[in-house]
């Protein structure tokens, strides 16, 4: 049986991320990349275009809850675009969780 990879490589310093608390998942344009929390802070400082909120941060979690509720509400109305946005956001959140965060949880 194949052993599942239990480590994640930081996209900034290319070293392994071993602790879930140290993991920051962020969008680089349309690619999702893992970083150490320190590397993410450094990266944001050095690059004006890459200073968005981390996908797995507190702000993002609040947004996820918001979009979840908003998505539910607007599904009864004609604002389909909001439903689509909320589905996309929730999918990226789940993708980040299963691709990176879950690995470090075990
Ligand atoms: Zn790093």
What are the sequence ranges of the domains in the chain? 8-105
Bin 102: left if φ > 0, else alpha if -120 < ψ < 50, else beta: alpha
Report how far residue 45's alpha carbon sits from residue 64's, in angstroms, rounded to the nearest whole number: 25
Q: Residues within 5 Å of ion ligand 1 by Cβ?
A: 10, 12-13, 36, 39
Whether residue 11 contacts residue 35, with contact meaning beta carbons closer than 8 Å, is answered with: yes
- How many angstroms separate the Cα of 97 from the Cα of each of 25, 29, 39, 94? 9, 19, 19, 5
Ligand 1 center from residue 52 Cα (angstroms): 17
Centre of ligand 1 to C-alpha 13, Å, is 4
- Model-level pTM? 0.63
Contact 55, 96 (CB under 8 A): yes
Would you call 52 exposed, middle or buried from its count of C-beta atoms within 10 A (0-12, 13-18, 19+)?
middle
Q: What are the pLDDT tens digits along the chain (106 aa)?
A: 455 567 799 999 999 998 888 998 887 767 788 999 999 888 877 655 554 556 676 666 677 777 777 777 766 677 777 777 778 878 888 888 888 888 887 6
| Ligand 1 centroid to residue 37 C-alpha, Å | 8
d(CA 87, CA 94): 10
Measured in angstroms, how far is the CA atom of residue 68 from the centroid of ligand 1?
31
């Amino acid at each position: 049986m194949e052993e599942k990879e239990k480590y994640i490589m930081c996209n900034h310093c290319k070293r392994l991320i071993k602790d879930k608390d140290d993991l920051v998942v962020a969008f680089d344009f349309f690619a999702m990349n893992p970083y150490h929390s320190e590397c993410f802070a450094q990266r944001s400082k050095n690059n004006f275009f890459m200073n968005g909120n981390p996908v797995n941060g507190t702000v993002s979690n609040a947004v996820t809850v918001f979009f979840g509720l908003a998505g539910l509400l607007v599904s009864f109305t004609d604002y389909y675009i909001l439903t689509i946005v909320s589905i996309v956001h929730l999918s990226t959140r789940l993708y980040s969780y299963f691709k990176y965060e879950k690995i470090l949880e075990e």
